[in-house]
Amino acid sequence: MPTVLRIGPYRFYFYSHEPNEPPHIHLDRDEATAKVWLADVSLARSRGFRPKGINAILAIVSEHRASLKEAWHEYFGTTD
């Protein structure tokens, strides 16, 4: 699980066994977890986050989308 970004209490990472899925990022904060698609910065799933927290997460992902996608493509050897 390569960690690609840490911001405040959030850890952003991806699983190394998911190269056949579209680019996305997983993130955790304490016991809460979420998965966000990077193409359109939309929530794939979430457990433990409240709506306000999800909005904050989507804003962070949107702000760092380019570097997160770059990390995805670099790690999996893919292109956009």
Positions in the chain whose pLDDT score sits under 70: 80
Please tell me the predicted confidence (pLDDT) of residue 19. Answer: 74
Please spell the DSSP secondary structure of the chain, one letter per residue: --EEEEETTEEEE--TT-TTSPSEEEEEETTEEEEEETTTTEEEEEES--HHHHHHHHHHHHHHHHHHHHHHHHHHT---
Please tell me the predicted confidence (pLDDT) of residue 63. Answer: 98
Please tell me the predicted confidence (pLDDT) of residue 77. Answer: 87
Please tell me the predicted confidence (pLDDT) of residue 17. Answer: 85
| Domains in the chain: boundaries | 3-76
pLDDT digits (tens, 9 = 90+) for 47-64: 999 999 999 999 999 999
Tell me the pTM.
0.92
Please tell me the predicted confidence (pLDDT) of residue 65. Answer: 98
